[in-house]
A and B are shown apart, each in its own frame.
Chain A
Amino acid sequence: MILGKVCGTVVSTVEHPFYDGRKQLIVRATLPDGSFDGEKYVIAVDLVGAGVGETVLVEDEGTSARQLTGTAPSGPIRSVILGIVDEVACSG
């Protein structure tokens, strides 16, 4: 899993039917201290009701994403937001 900040939204009308009705958010990867991790980002399907500006937990792995969306074994999905982060405590 990675930490990220929701920086935006993507809306598509013409898309693969799997994604109809699934909210897609632009999440930029962040380091534990909250700064952006370079230009790294991912567009992830939101499972928890996250919004722009929030720090979130993103799973960027297909098998887990399919399990979390109940679409195993063939759901064409890799990245999901599975948590909204309240606080990161990290020393070192």
Chain B
Amino acid sequence: MKLGRVIGTVVATVKAEGMDGLKLLVVRPLTADLRDDGEPFVATDASAQAGPGALVTYEASREAALLHAPRFIPVDHAIVGIVDQHHYEGGEP
């Protein structure tokens, strides 16, 4: 999993089969200490409650699809949870 910030929503009426009812959000990836880290992507929401502004954890690749089991749908990024508490101490080892 990695950290990201939800920065928008996507509405798509025409979608692949099995994706009906799934919320699509635009997520900006973040570094471990919450700095922007690359270009935003679209993710489904497996936490069910994420929205714009939320700090979230997300999973990529096959595990993103598994987050929506028992449906196995074609997604490559999915939001796992909404972060309430982020604690970071990153001194160079």
Contacts and interface: CB of A to CB of B under 8 A. Distances in A.
Interface in A11-49: 11-16, 18-19, 24, 26, 28, 30, 34-36, 39, 41-44
Interface residues of B, number: 33
A46 to B, nearest CB: 12
Interface string B49-74: 11000000101011110110100000
A16 B93 contact: no
Interface of B: 1-3, 31-32, 37, 46-50, 57, 59, 61-64, 66-67, 69, 80-90, 92-93
A8 B84 CA distance: 14
Contacts of B62: 62
Given A15-B57, A19-B81, A41-B31, A10 B86 contact: yes
Interface of A: 5, 7-16, 18-19, 24, 26, 28, 30, 34-36, 39, 41-44, 52-53, 55, 62, 74-79
21 contacts: A5-B93, A12-B80, A14-B47, A14-B49, A14-B50, A15-B57, A15-B80, A16-B46, A16-B47, A16-B80, A24-B57, A26-B88, A41-B31, A52-B87, A53-B89, A62-B62, A62-B63, A62-B66, A76-B46, A76-B66, A78-B63
